[in-house]
Structure 1
Amino acid sequence: MQGPTLRDVASAAGVHTATASRALNPNARALVHPDTARRVLRAAESLGYRPNPIVRSLKTTKSGTIGLVIPDLTNPLFPPIVRGIEDVLAPAGYSTLIVDTNDRPDREQAQIASLRSRRADGLIIATALLDHPLLRELGEQGVATVLVNRRTDGLDVGSVSANDAAGIGLAVEHLVDLGHRRIIHLAGPQTTSTGVDRLRAFRTAVREHGLDDSCRIVLCDRWTEDAGARALRTALDSGAPFTAVVAGSDLIALGCYEVFAEREITCPTDINVVGFNGIPFLDKLCPPLTTINIPHHDIGREAARMLLESIAEPNRTPRSVLLPPSLVVRGSTAPPRP
């Protein structure tokens, strides 16, 4: 069965076929009014149209590629974000080159240099730290860049992420409504915007519920299960009582499950735990993990659209978009024992 054609896209967008062709060509898009280009791109996306890269390569020497920089490809947070990005970029005529930095600045620098040597037309970066000299350098060089699931200070660069403050607020409110008064937060790395924002939101939430003196914070140095397990052991070994954990991420929460098993702690009878991100298969755990779900696919789509806007309009003012999270209640939370 033949897929949608360029003529179908033009008809759906209400433009001439030649206009649609220019709008879908990254190297000719500047010839089309930005509003018209966006209309054509959305029509192509909704129809599932895919341009022919072989035909296009005969007409231009530009790469038609976008670099996607991921800190850890084994983290199940990222596949749905990548899918959302590709769902928007492919109809617009772009291919995605994905690189994994393994959370190492030297590897990130080398991978981005490789992407630029391949003449990537823009970058979507999920590795950004609060202080990130490489991002500053890219900005000074005029590289179209969008941050995904991250933000950074002092730079005019677009970003798309979940509303971390709202998510942590939902987690704390859920536990308080169940009757918990002694809650700890296993906070993510404070070198990242997500770690800082979620920690700040936890402090705000417990203060609003009048729990300042009964809640504690333990820092994790990475967004991993091992870091979560180490942090929970630290909290338990301190002897300070608590009945619930708000984890900085689902992977940190999974580290808690490891400690529950080794110390014969029953969840949720002895300790509750709430994760953050809504990665797949959390409902298969024992008990299934209560978590804050973020719209990964929508985050990817919005980041890709933002990057296309930046490429088409280099002088456009960067935007920061926060998408709303939701609470998913499962078996890892319950009222505390009397």
Structure 2
Amino acid sequence: MKRTALRSAEMRTATAPRPTIKDVAARCGVHPSTVSRALSPAMKHLVAADVANRIQAAANALGYRLNRAAKGLRTGRSGLIGVLAPDIADPGFPPVLSGIADHLHAQGYATIVADVGTEGSEQDLVDRLIAHGIDGLVLATVMLDDAIVTHCLDSALPVVLVNRLDRGARLPSVAGDDEGGMRLAVEHLVALGHKRIGHVAGPQEISTGARRRAGFEASLGDAGLASRNMPVETAPTYTRAAGREAALRLLGRKPRPTAIVAANDLLALGVYDALAARGLACPDDVSVVGHNDMPFVDMVSPPLTTVRIAQHDMGEAAARLLLDRITDPAGTREHLVLPPTLIVRGSTAPPRS
């Protein structure tokens, strides 16, 4: 008897019509358009808070779920934003992604993240995301001279660059002040008394690598050190292993640098490895400065002095800029530059006399 009743209940549940926006409106005694606004993160502010809360409670009680497909047919938008990541395993990228996702979620959008990694085809990934019906794209992978920018422009898809720039500044972008960050690092070391300062540069085909190296060299020149030996070694990738190899070459120079500025924190950790391999201590023998202030660099030994870029804010700004482009594709092409901050920790000290 109990099994029969249970089966009947399951059948009624299975065949019951899916609750609609009109059902929610009827329960609350409001117009369906009011329900639509109250349940939309982007329009909820148009409805009185108590009414919006009552509508949300009624929707939950009825089991109403927004039909994204139907909404997409009505509006011509999917509510999906693509994000092309350079390497999802890089500890510096998740804070940027978090900023993007937080802002988009608050506006009723969801993100699809595609990881290019080391072997990925950017054009293929972009085409796949477009096939999923994305409303816009955040690119964190662009090189200085990159065909993917032309491909995106040809697709007429709203696109914003984050953290990296293309040489022609053809797309809206949000990035840190790379040259300014290097200036903070060099000025800090010069103030400590360092005169032999080396640089582990990032890949020169990427804007962060090229612009940070340019900022490093310009800052040494402003400090009156340009005529001295200016040791720079380039790492082919932003990895700890590449930083170690570049730092070993720097440490083999005569005279040896008393301080090293790395183009990012992973490279700086590679510098730590190189110092250990040579039996040198940081900061007693060589001071080290990183760039980005990625998570946990305050927990290494010694804690890393680094240039902080507001990565979460950068992601939020990129998402905001992209939504502006979706709303007004012909709007102003903005290029936002976020100021850096020097975070002084235990990896820098005056050089030995």
The bucket for the TM-score relative to the shorter chain is: 0.7 to 0.9
Task: Say whether residues 1:108 and 2:122 are aligned partners.
Answer: yes
Task: Say whether residues 1:220 and 2:220 are aligned partners.
Answer: no
Task: Say whether residues 1:130 and 2:147 are aligned partners.
Answer: no
In 2: Cα distance, 1:103 partner to 1:190 partner: 16
Q: Using a 3 Å threshold, how does the CA distance of structure 1 residues 308 and 23 change in structure 2: closer, same or farther?
A: farther
Match for residue 280 of structure 1 among 292, 295, 304? 295
In 1: Cα distance, 2:153 partner to 2:241 partner: 35
2:208 corresponds to? 194
- Any idea what SS the aligned residue of 2:71 has? coil
How far is 1:56 from its partner? 3.8
1:251 corresponds to? 266
How far is 1:92 from its partner? 1.5
2:132 corresponds to? 118
Please tell me the residue identity of whatever aligns with 2:71.
K
In 1: Cα distance, 2:135 partner to 2:219 partner: 42
How far is 1:260 from its partner? 1.5
Task: Say whether residues 1:329 and 2:341 are aligned partners.
Answer: no
2:168 corresponds to? 154
Q: Using a 3 Å threshold, how does the CA distance of structure 1 residues 134 and 254 change in structure 2: closer, same or farther?
A: same
User: Quick check: which has more Rg, 1 or 2?
Assistant: 2
Match for residue 307 of structure 1 among 322, 330, 335? 322
In 2: Cα distance, 1:145 partner to 1:20 partner: 27
Q: CA RMSD in A?
A: 2.4
Please tell me the residue identity of whatever aligns with 1:279.
M
Please tell me the residue identity of whatever aligns with 1:270.
D
Residue segments in structure 1 that go unaligned for 5+ positions in a row: 1-15, 26-36
Q: Using a 3 Å threshold, how does the CA distance of structure 1 residues 53 and 169 change in structure 2: closer, same or farther?
A: farther
In 2: Cα distance, 1:199 partner to 1:283 partner: 24
How far is 1:140 from its partner? 2.1
Q: TM-score, normalised by structure 2?
A: 0.81
How far is 1:110 from its partner? 2.2
User: Do the aligned partners of 1:53 and 1:93 also contact (CA within 8 Å) in 2?
Assistant: no
1:206 corresponds to? 220
Match for residue 78 of structure 1 among 93, 99, 103? 93
Task: Say whether residues 1:55 and 2:67 are aligned partners.
Answer: yes
In 2: Cα distance, 1:21 partner to 1:318 partner: 32
- Any idea what SS the aligned residue of 2:66 has? helix
User: Do the aligned partners of 1:186 and 1:252 also contact (CA within 8 Å) in 2?
Assistant: yes
How far is 1:214 from its partner? 3.3
In 2: Cα distance, 1:228 partner to 1:306 partner: 33
- Any idea what SS the aligned residue of 1:274 has? strand
- Any idea what SS the aligned residue of 1:170 has? helix
1:90 corresponds to? 105
Q: Deviations over 1:53-77 (max 9, x none)?
A: 7334333334211010011111111
Residue segments in structure 2 that go unaligned for 5+ positions in a row: 1-32
- Any idea what SS the aligned residue of 1:147 has? strand
Please tell me the residue identity of whatever aligns with 2:302.
P
How far is 1:335 from its partner? 0.3
How far is 1:24 from its partner? 5.6
In 1: Cα distance, 2:34 partner to 2:180 partner: 44
- Any idea what SS the aligned residue of 1:318 has? coil
Q: Using a 3 Å threshold, how does the CA distance of structure 1 residues 197 and 17 change in structure 2: closer, same or farther?
A: farther
In 1: Cα distance, 2:116 partner to 2:164 partner: 15
How far is 1:103 from its partner? 3.6
How far is 1:263 from its partner? 1.5
Please tell me the residue identity of whatever aligns with 1:81.
V
In 1: Cα distance, 2:182 partner to 2:155 partner: 36
Match for residue 263 of structure 1 among 269, 278, 287? 278
In 1: Cα distance, 2:39 partner to 2:158 partner: 20
Task: Say whether residues 1:144 and 2:158 are aligned partners.
Answer: yes
How far is 1:156 from its partner? 2.3
